[in-house]
Amino acid sequence: MTATSTQKTVSIKSESLSDLGKAAKELLAFCDGAKVLTFSGNLGAGKTTFIKAICKELGVEDLVSSPTFSIINEYRDSKNVPVYHFDFYRLKTTQEAEDTGCVDYFFSNNYCLIEWPQIIESLLPDEYVKVEITNTNEIRTINATLIYRA
């Protein structure tokens, strides 16, 4: 068992698709260089949509869509640096996830944007940003925590 100490948190509200760009900017500023981000929230909470907005901020021009079947999508940012997008919804065990080779990406120092992270939490680097999205009607609350596991 490792101790988890929370260093900082931020709470961002989104009332429509049009303010997601601003929310993405705010989240990236909060991350302050941390590049592994997990996204939790109910089915349809808005994880993929928010990741699209983050990718746009990073200068990704590729089509960003949920890697539900491929598990991993790779995009390129404005400097041609890879950005990885994962969706572990269809996988059941940590071992299955590990077999995809995802750990190499997590430690690659490139952005990793991870939907349905529950089964890979133990595989993450010590420092990552945990993003939790909740929606009530049209209002989304995006809570982010910088996790540092010592």
Q: Which residues bind Mg ion (CB under 5 A)?
A: 47-48, 66
R_g (Cα) of the chain, nearest Å: 14
User: Among 10, 59, 66, 148, which residue sits at the site for ligand ATP (rule: CB under 6 A)?
Assistant: 66
User: Quick one: which segment of 5-13, 27-35, 42-50, 124-132 binds ligand ATP (CB under 6 A)?
Assistant: 42-50
Residue (77 or 132) nearer to ligand ATP, CB: 132
- Number of Cβ atoms within 10 Å of the Cβ of 79: 7
Residue (20 or 144) nearer to ligand ATP, CB: 20
CA 23 – CA 43 distance, rounded (Å): 20
Measured in degrees and rounded to the nearest 5, phi and psi for residue 68 equal -60, -40
**Binding marks (x or -) toward ligand ATP, 114..133, rule CB under 6 A?**
-x------------------
Residue (1 or 63) nearer to ligand ATP, CB: 63
The least distance separating ligand ATP from the CB of residue 39, rounded to whole angstroms, comes to 7
CA 46 – CA 125 distance, rounded (Å): 24
- Angle between helix 20-31 and helix 47-57 axes, rounded to 10 deg: 70
